[in-house]
Structures are given as structure tokens and as C-alpha cells.
Amino acid sequence: MTTHGVLSDSELKRAIKQGWIVADTPFIDDQIQPASLDLRLGETAYRLRASFLPGAGAKVQDRLDDQLVMHKIDLRAGAVLETGCVYLVQVQEELALPQHIAGAANPKSSTGRVDVFTRLILDGASSFDHVPAGYRGPMWAEISPCTFSVLVRTGTRLSQVRLRRGPQHPKREIDFTMDLAMTGPVGFRAKRHSGVIDLDRVGAYDPRDFWEPMEARKGRVVLDPGQFYIFASKENVVIPPDEAAEMAPIRPELGEFRAHYAGFFDPGFGIAPNEGRAVLEVRSRDVPFFVEDGQPVGKLVFEPLCGPVERLYGESGSNYQGQGLKLSKNFAPWR
């Protein structure tokens, strides 16, 4: 292990004991992932007119006036967040970081796979999902369901935060490509005007009510503008026990589409005998676009851990270890 790098689960537990991460309610054991911490929604959602950033010196709470907030929603008994709307929810966890600790946030895998766009906003922020070194204060989740309306409640986990000691020092990068040559469906296209998805329910929905299977003709498919798709990488992804990885944003020169929402890979993902692929959450942009088997779609950026891992990804059960082309945990297997 190194003195600089991503905090492992053992380091995150130590950070909680030292008061760097606090919450009004007790932390849950499986909330602490091998190299990240799940964030839980609080009690109130604010329906916003538009997304925003508070800017230097401003607090998020102070920006929530009647020009920005349309109405408030009580999440304690559960509430539906509707497609095409923007919501803001303070998460239960707050930070009091020392000056040598910074971080970043990302949607959880299940969040990205149902096309819920989620970003973290902090006091004084001029960018999303960035936790500056030494940050002290609350964290807010901006939530925008893009295809499916979703049911959430206090305690629902949509995003996760990864903390690191010292500046980010990528260890290595690996490119990956899209697999359009597999047997059976090569991908899934989301159906519009489907039912509500309760994001806390596992295996509860028939995927055929929400998704259409896709077939590749001559190793190609056409992405329609504004549609949401699930594909898989051609390459297996293996994250060693002493590293963490993040799926980097798609480079504009690779095509007219966005290749992912969620991007954290924890140590232990894909280690034999549970080899697994990266699942790609794809949205085409302004024009129809052909994608081909083996087309480059992004890269994995690896970082070292700065502490030992107590529990590798998948050791206590996981919905995505050893995955191939897999929809979110909310759906039963495709048959």
C-alpha cells in the first residue's frame, strides 16, 4: 500500500471514528464499500426549476429560495420522482475532512443503469461531484430521472463518494471497447412511458416491461438521438485488491454518444473465477450514430489504495460480480 491514494474500507471506518464523516443516523455495515461510501437520501426533496451550482462562498441551503424551488416533497414514506424533472436532496452524511483528504462522487451502478442522472453538489461548489481537500459541510444529491420515473425514500442510496489522501495520481489506464458480437441480445434499449421503478426493490420487475432487446446486424447497431441503451464491454475488467478504478468520461472524438453514468470499480471486481465485463450506460446525442463491434468507448483509470481492504468486492454478495450484459438489480434476469 502507498501513503497516498484512495481510502479503503478500513480507512473509511477509521475516518468515521475520527469524525471526518458524520451522520445523524448510525452507519450501516454494507454502506461502506471496499473503496467508497454509499450516501443515503435525507427526508426532503426539493423540486427545482433548473440545475445550479452555488459558486464560491455560497451555501446550497441559501440558494433554495422561491425563484429556484417549485415545491418540497416528504420522502419519509416514499415519493415518486418524475421523468424530466430536477430534484435536490440533502444526504444524511456530512464531511469534516482534514486538509490532506479530498474526494469525488459518482452514481451507484444501479442508479446509472436506470438512467437516473445524479450529481453531488457541495457548499461553495463551482463544479459537480468534486470534494475539495479539507471540505467541511453538507452534501446534496441532484437527481434527474431521464427515462423512468422512480420511487425513492429516506435512506435510498443513489450515489457514492470516494475519498483519497493526497492529490490524484493515476497508476495506469486501460482502454475498453463495445461488444456487439455476443450470443443473444447485444444490448437493451429503454422503453419510454414505462411504469415506476422502486429503486429499493431487487429483482422485482419483468425487464420486458421496460426494455427492448437489441440485435446487431453485421456487427453494427444504430443509436437513436435521446434514447438510452445498455451494452457491455468486450474486455473483462479485473480490479486488483490494492487498486481502485474509475471509468473515465467518453472522449468527444470517439463518437456522438455518452458511454457511462456510473464509474467506480471497487477492488476485487472481476477477480477469477468471477470475471466480469463493464456495463455501459449509453445515450446518443444529437444525431443517429452507428456503433460497431470492438468500437472504443472509453478507458479505466486505476489508482492505488492507501490502506488494506477488509472485504473485497463481491465477498459478501453482489448484484454485479461476474456480470456480462446485465440490467440493474431492480429487474429479474432476462429470459
Domain-wise residue ranges, the chain = 5-165, 172-304
- pLDDT: is 312 or 75 the higher one? 75
| Across 120-125, average pLDDT | 97
Which of 304, 312, 268, 240 lies closest to 3 in space, CA to CA? Answer: 304
Q: Is-same-fold flag (5-165; 172-304)?
A: yes
Task: Say whether pLDDT at 111 is over 90.
Answer: yes
SS3 of 231-246: EEEEEEECCCCCEEEE
Task: State the CB neighbour count (10 A cutoff) for residue 117.
Answer: 17
Which positions ≥6 away from 285 have C-beta within 8 Å? 225, 256, 257, 258
Q: Which CATH architecture has domain 5-165?
A: Distorted Sandwich (2.70)
* Strand pairing category for 197-198 and 150-152: parallel
Return the CATH class of domain 172-304: mainly beta
Q: Which residue has the cell 472481476?
A: 270
Q: Which residue has the cell 455501459?
A: 280
- pLDDT: is 317 or 246 the higher one? 246
What confidence score (pLDDT) does residue 259 get? 59
What confidence score (pLDDT) does residue 263 get? 78
- pLDDT: is 146 or 169 the higher one? 146
What confidence score (pLDDT) does residue 171 get? 78
Task: Say whether pLDDT at 318 is over 70.
Answer: yes
Q: How confident is the model at residue 262 (pLDDT cuts 50, 70, 90)?
A: low
Which of 213, 247, 248 lies closest to 231 in space, CA to CA? Answer: 213
CB 41 within 8 A of CB 153: yes
Q: How confident is the model at residue 256 (pLDDT cuts 50, 70, 90)?
A: low
Q: What is the mean pLDDT of the chain?
A: 91
Q: How confident is the model at residue 274 (pLDDT cuts 50, 70, 90)?
A: confident
Task: Say whether pLDDT at 1 is over 70.
Answer: no
Partnered with residue 46 across adjacent β-strands are 72, 88
Task: Say whether pLDDT at 335 is over 80.
Answer: yes
- Please give the share of the chain, as a percent, with pLDDT higher than 90: 69
Question: How many residues can be counted in the chain?
Answer: 335
